[in-house]
Chain A
């Protein structure tokens, strides 16, 4: 199981990162690459994970929030991803890409979540809506935009999980298609085709929802 979780290889990271491997990395420096920081974590400098958390937990949370449709679940999965990074840090490879490795772990953790809950994205809890209600003075003016976002979220949630996953990876996470192909364990060509097909599907569902609203 551990091998399944972590046996993951992707195109080479920056060469200069390897130079930093055995030196003491200033983990707060913004100049170090993710790869160098993760190698430092692997070599026992656990504080370097704090910098990686600060850099990546926001986008990762955004991805998982849209994938699961559940804020609290997304937070829990982010926590689990970083927990597994620590647990399996010794399996991180010299020629790895940190971001791709992180999303590989995130994908596994999300799959565990879906298996446990055995369901599509959960409906939003009304209590949460109240908690996160938009209290800005011009919130009313922006209701139209929020409405549009709500439709798009609903459309995303109606997609197959695979389609939703590739759209989120390709549009929000600044990953190359080579990295996405590595995460999804398919060819680069297949990843491109799947991303385009998912976009067409999203378009169809989104306009269908708009149509239902106007009729």
Chain B
């Protein structure tokens, strides 16, 4: 056995988990080759030092955050369970649905046809008189109305979104995370989710999705505004980490207040203190 062959098999001598008979040839070679002895000893020495490295211990905030997250998930699961049970159909009901649904649909169709045919008068379509170019005041009024309708639509859209189960909302946010282009509407939705969603998981995922837009002032302002109304320490700490990563100096006054105030969890106060050094 030469040096190259012997060194290829040093791993077997060094790591006792590597099974297989260690050839006596390697030991014979080692006994007679000072260069391989040095190579082997240096590897052994490195391995011993590596194994002697002390294990670092995490800080207390990790445990606190974990159990806060677990409790939150348990609450979400408990809230979702009755809904899931209500939705589960019984086998008997399923059969009746197959029989009755087409009959009901057919009946409704026939009723509609008869009512339409014997209707006493038919209304002509309403025509809107064409107007000449509206004056400036009207245009302004129309623009204001459009803005109101838009914001109302957003609010309604968000309310509808909130009615979906947390899993569906999470999927929506995860899909948003994969979109890289700058879409103001998408960013607004993500910030709204971060501020208003009832599920911690969904809020955390929204925050994760916002990382790629952290260079935008509106995003940093949105996270900072959400931080002041957030109740969960886990999300609060994650938001602080976000503001640190974004190097948002605007956050300093809020963080100072959080670091001082007793109404926040200790892990949050510690995170705020660290953030003040890092920003």
Q: Which residues of A contact B (CB under 8 A)?
A: 1-2, 44, 46-47, 49-50, 53, 57-59, 61-62, 65-66, 71-72, 74-76, 78-79, 82-83, 86-87, 116-117, 125, 127, 148-149, 152-153, 167, 170-172, 176-177, 192-193, 195-196, 199-200, 202-203, 206-207
Contact = CB atoms under 8 A, between A and B. Distances in A.
B278 A149 contact: no
**Most chain B CB within a 10 A radius of its CB, from A1, A59, A62, A83:** A83
Classify chain B: how many residues form its interface, as a range: 35 or more
A86 B17 contact: no
B70 A49 contact: yes
Given A46-B73, A87-B201, A152 B53 contact: yes
Contacts of B17: 176-177
Given A2-B174, A200-B43, 12 more contacts: A46-B73, A47-B70, A61-B57, A65-B56, A71-B58, A74-B58, A82-B69, A86-B201, A127-B274, A152-B50, A203-B42, A207-B42
A196 B47 CA distance: 10
**Most chain A CB within a 10 A radius of its CB, from B50, B277, B278:** B50
Contact of B58 (A2, A57, A82, A193): A57
B241 interface: yes
Interface of B: 10-11, 14-15, 17-18, 42-43, 45-47, 49-51, 53-59, 61-63, 65-67, 69-70, 73-74, 77, 170, 174, 178, 201, 204, 211, 234, 238, 241, 245, 274, 277-278
A79 B68 CA distance: 11
A110 B130 CA distance: 63
Contacts of B274: 72, 127
Contact of A1 (B174, B238, B278): B174
Contacts of A83: 69, 201, 204
